[in-house]
Amino acid sequence: MTVRPIVITGEPVLHRRAEPVEKFDDDLRGLVTDMFETMDAAHGVGLAAPQIGVGLRVFTWQMDNDDGVPARGVIVNPYVTATKPSVDEPDPHDEAEGCLSVPGESFPLKRGDRATVTGFDVDGGELSFEASGWFARCMQHEYDHLNGFLYVDRLNDRWGKKARKAVKNQGWGKPGFSWLPGVDPDPFGHDDDHDHEHDL
**Annotated active-site positions, please?**
142
Q: Report the SS3 class of residue 143.
A: helix
* Dist. CA 143–CA 80, nearest whole Å: 7
For strand 58-62 and strand 96-98, is the pairing parallel, antiparallel, or unpaired?
Answer: unpaired
* Dist. CA 81–CA 50, nearest whole Å: 20
CA 198 vs. chain centroid, Å, equals 10
Q: Considering only CA atoms, which of 56, 12, 66, 65 is closest in space to residue 34?
A: 56
* Dist. CA 138–CA 131, nearest whole Å: 9
